[in-house]
Structure 1
Amino acid sequence: MKVQRKHVLAAGVAVVATAVVAVGTGFGFADTTSARPSLCSGSVTFSAEGGGPAATSDRFPVGTRLRVTNLDNGKVATVSVSGPSGSCVLLNAAAMDLVREPGKNVIRRNVVERVGVDAPVAPAPGETRPGAAQPPATQRPTPPATGVAAGRSACSGSVTFSAEAGAAAATSDRFPVGTRLRVTNLDNGKVATVSVSGPSGSCVLLNTAAMELLREPGKNVIRRNLVELVR
């Protein structure tokens, strides 16, 4: 009789545990990953743009609605693209405040999805989406900016920064690690030469130290800039 009671009790605990997991998942607590792959690779950061929640992008046309999810806290912001930038998605200040964690200027674990569109836009040149088969190394396309003519910027749109510490450096979605880039702020003439230390969701995303070398006081974005490869 005692053995039967133990079996009944164990079964009851298992049922309750299963129900708790199911409820947690239904409310978004047990699983924060999206069923669809992200349309942007790398981190999501922001500019100092004011106004209502919005974003700029180097691959989505103006008016495109995007849903940005911060996988670290489950917060979601749905924004419309208002113009071009040098990032796959660059949030403005209001949009970043909807999804950020306190004190953080970058969202590393994120999912970016189009709203109201079934088919995702084509990836940028040289981009490989999560889960997609990668071609052999000999067949991978050459990053498009390596042949940029002298005096022409290797990146289009604004340059912004992450909260990365350390010596002046940058991350990029198209330049390999070790590439040296010269970034010029055309509004004040300041120049910084940095090495790419890893991937991001921007053509060039400066760390804090690099941005401090170039920025104007109180500004988190460099709109008029020149990015050049250092040979």
Structure 2
Amino acid sequence: MRPRRSYRRPGTGFSGRNRKIMIGAVVAALAGGALAVGTGMSNASTTCDGLDRSLQETLDFMADQRAHPNAQTDAVLANRQAVVDLINLQRRQAGCTGEVAAPATTAPTTTPATTAPTATATATAAPTTSATSSAAGNGDASGTGAGEVVCKGSTVTLSGEAGEPFASSGTFPLGTVLKVTNLDNGKSITVTVQTTSGSCVLLNNAAFEEVREPGKFLIRRAVIERVG
């Protein structure tokens, strides 16, 4: 009596058990790839949100400058256009596809001579502003105790400007010293306002790098304090 031979389908080279192992490996690889793609899309979305916001704020500020020109408008617009070009480059590199448009331009406005008394009235109101600042100085629990908490609820992103750490602002005059704290990682930086923008505060590249979380271009939970 001849011994029974095991039968294997010609050309396959795999037993039933080996085929199951191979199928399981393929499924695992596909699942891992899907997870990697999903994570990458999430990070890209966060990056694009911050870049889009920074671009929109810069475009809004430029439109306001054109509508209300002054002696420094040309220089400010040239500076902001360089920032726009840099942000657009970063958006292309990050694969951002959202549409960010400049607001409709309006004719430049002129200030009539009869408004001079209004300017004087505003100047006399300064002591009231000063009193408010001193009262808010160290008593706000949401701050770090370094100074007056300002622009509550504002997010912070980068201006795209190079150089040593500094800030730009459309709220505070040049020379103002601000402390920005990222509550998500506890990092903070103290910077001087050196340029103008359309936001409470924007950090230039070097300053933003000191306090941001890796891969993020927007600080959503920030405390901004005026310290000088």
> Normalised by the shorter chain, which TM-score bucket?
0.3 to 0.5
TM-score normalized by structure 2? 0.45
TM-score normalized by structure 1? 0.44
Higher strand proportion (structure 1 or 2): 1
Higher helix proportion (structure 1 or 2): 2
Highest Rg: 1 or 2? 2
